[in-house]
A and B are shown apart, each in its own frame.
Chain A
Amino acid sequence: MKYTLSVLVENHPGVLSKVSGLFSRRGFNIDSLAVGVAEDPTISRMTIVVNGDEYVVEQVEKQLNKVIPVIKVKTLHNGDFISRELSLIKVSCKASQRPDVMKIAELMQARIIDVSTTCMTLEFSDTSERTETLISLLHPYGIREIVRTGTVAIEKGASTARKISI
């Protein structure tokens, strides 16, 4: 089972290594980890997707909370959040195959951002599941390179991971 955690950390050098070190040390499996500055520039937000059971995710949450620069850990519940992942996919594509690849891109709502005589590069922003679908559709043409950011997630409606005082 996959769990998505939204983690707010102090925006200091070394915090990422404290968090990633914790995962390898305790044997937790990270599916993806994405990090960027949050609404407050002194704070970074990490979106971590963890593979494991309920025991594992509870331990992950508790152990993350022990890391001093970690401010808040919130496990997002399925259906309550929206997740996206940005992917850049370079696929082999001769001139004769272009219409087919363009059709797939259109169907999946991927953007074509680069074309050459032998290749085409697609930009895709959607859930990890839809990304996997696109990849499998492109697979027969020969995928040359995939660059994925890892999942970022945000809660639906007005709720936020952190109480904000405005």
Chain B
Amino acid sequence: MINGAQIMVKCLENEGVSVVFGYPGATICPFYDALMDSSIRHILVRQEQNAAHAASGYTRSCGKPGVCIATSGPGATNLITGLATAYMDSIPLIAITGQVRSDLLGRDVFQEADITGSCEPFTKHSYLVKNTADLPRVFKEAFHIATTGRPGPVLIDIPIDIQQHELPDFTYPEKAEIIGYKPRTQGHPLQIKKALELISHSERPVICAGGGVLSSGGKRELVAFAEATGIPVVSTMMGIGVMPSEHPLYLGMLGSHGLKAANRAIHEADLLILCGARVGDRAVASPNQITEKAKVIHIDIDPAEIGKNMTVHIPIVGNIHLVLKSFNEKIHYHVSDQWTATVQEWKETLRSVPPVFEGYVEPRSFIRELSSLLPSKSIYVADVGQNQIWSANNFRTTAGRFLTTGGMGTMGYSIPAALGAKLARPTRPVLAVCGDGSFQMSMNELGTIAQNHIGVKIIVMRNVRLGMVRELQDNLYQGRHSATILDETLDFQKIAEAYGIPSQMVSNNEDAIKAAKTMLETDGAYLLICNVSPDTPSI
């Protein structure tokens, strides 16, 4: 005989899961008990939201869907922010929650929450399992749905009696058959032909690379397409890392917090080729301004993104990797020297030089220098706030990854996501770069890092402010700093010490680089605190 909880573990094993992130509670106890007999490693986080973020960092670093687990009620509701964060950035996750006994559902018993209902807007799909025999099919479908088409989180809510119920045997289905779910992967040949025609008649084309390029594995094809045609590339925040940072055709991140050259290019373009980018408001504030001048080709796996925020002339629904591959097979086009020269000139002249404040680390030049110290495949996780913008515009990489929460902008993402990334890629350096606001949102995870010896390097840009909001208050609220000043007396080094994590605090770039070198040479986790002037702007 095999019970539901053992079936759940077997399903995970069949999917090749080797690490899961979670936090136990009464209604998920049968599963935790069965997990003890499995080789699957469980990482006990310090709050459920961070289990979802850690699973997200894991997924994005190794491509296998991360798994997070929580109990019913508050455990499950704590997961929601993490799931919403993953949903906005199209990260495949499997979330498993315990639930109260199925015969008590709806009675408001202890730790009952309608989690499938609550997560409806934040998951790609969800299941409330009412029959133990359904578990293998549900798990197979969940992994299939999470990882195919436009990826996203899938929630499986399992009442405790379903976990306890015994069945005579277990078989795992080979295939998921879902009648209404057949995502299209190949772009339509006619649309591809039309797109190539439009490209060959364009004079000032620009490619905009989004997160979809990375999730489709189309990075190499995109770089090849840009190089073959000479078309300059801008990226969204989620698309950072598609192009090697120092590539001559790369203009940087666009948008309200992006680089001037990138924004100038898309506003002067006569053709915009959107690749796996959903034209979010932070990337393109007024899409109409662009479409007045430019025709738009939009390639995306999700048809609902095409035409949602920007008028599109040629929609191509499909996997970017596959579509760009057919582009590369058929394209015979090169941009004019004049367009190349114009764009290069913008790239060189439209740079802003960061002001230096004495007695502080200048974060932008520090991040650039730090990048040069990192091995090429390093994983850099940026948090949210001014630090995110400093990182997005100044982190340099050739083959590494830049992970951040682009859609939700969830503070506290970097530390848990980095620990997940490190478990996925133990041999690569993994950095979490945050502000002192975002650090304090997930510094409880230092406990997870210390207990499991996870060698994450944490850099805190400490300006004793909630810098991004403070900047907003300076610009829009007459400098009235409402609730944006933090406590200056707090000693982060003592916190690190409590967890047995070595640390340093620095107040100028020279010391910061020296400390960064020490940090990278030190085995295990490390905390580097950089004192940054509160007056350092985001851009």
Chain B contacts for A9, CB-based, 8 A: 180
Does A103 count as interface, using CB distance less than 8 angstroms? no
Does A18 count as interface, using CB distance less than 8 angstroms? yes
Q: Is the CB of A62 within 8 A of B303?
A: yes
From B127, which residue of chain A is reached at the shortest CB distance? Answer: A14
Chain A contacts for B120, CB-based, 8 A: 17-18, 21
With both chains docked as a complex, state the minimum distance between the C-beta of A111 and any C-beta of chain B, in angstroms: 39
Question: Whole-angstrom distance between the alpha carbons of A71 and B304 in the complex?
Answer: 16
Chain A contacts for B179, CB-based, 8 A: 10, 71
From A66, which residue of chain B is reached at the shortest CB distance? Answer: B304
Does B117 count as interface, using CB distance less than 8 angstroms? yes
Question: Whole-angstrom distance between the alpha carbons of A8 and B180 in the complex?
Answer: 9
Does B483 count as interface, using CB distance less than 8 angstroms? no
Q: Which of A14, A62, A68, A72 contacts B304, CB < 8 Å?
A: A62
- Given known A21-B121, A68-B125, contact A63–B304 (CB-CB < 8 A): yes
Chain B contacts for A89, CB-based, 8 A: none
Number of A-B residue pairs having CB atoms within 8 Å of each other in the complex: 35
- Given known A58-B307, A62-B304, A65-B303, contact A17–B117 (CB-CB < 8 A): yes
Chain A contacts for B125, CB-based, 8 A: 68
Category for how many chain B residues contact A: 10 to 19
From B141, which residue of chain A is reached at the shortest CB distance? Answer: A68
**Chain A 53-71: CB-based contact to B (< 8 A → 1; otherwise 0):** 0010011001101111111
Does B190 count as interface, using CB distance less than 8 angstroms? no
With both chains docked as a complex, state the minimum distance between the C-beta of B148 and any C-beta of chain A, in angstroms: 11
Q: Is the CB of B303 within 8 A of A68?
A: no
Question: Whole-angstrom distance between the alpha carbons of A59 and B308 in the complex?
Answer: 7
Chain B contacts for A59, CB-based, 8 A: 304, 308
Question: Whole-angstrom distance between the alpha carbons of A58 and B306 in the complex?
Answer: 10
Does A25 count as interface, using CB distance less than 8 angstroms? yes
- Given known A14-B128, A18-B120, A21-B120, contact A68–B308 (CB-CB < 8 A): no
From A25, which residue of chain B is reached at the shortest CB distance? Answer: B121
**Chain B 148-188: CB-based contact to A (< 8 A → 1; otherwise 0):** 00000000000000000000000000000011110000000
- Given known A14-B116, A17-B120, A25-B121, contact A68–B128 (CB-CB < 8 A): no
With both chains docked as a complex, state the minimum distance between the C-beta of A158 and any C-beta of chain B, in angstroms: 23
Q: Is the CB of A68 within 8 A of B180?
A: yes
With both chains docked as a complex, state the minimum distance between the C-beta of A145 and any C-beta of chain B, in angstroms: 30
Chain A contacts for B383, CB-based, 8 A: none
9 A-B pairs in the complex with CB atoms less than 8 angstroms apart: A10-B179, A14-B128, A21-B121, A25-B121, A59-B308, A65-B303, A66-B304, A68-B124, A68-B181
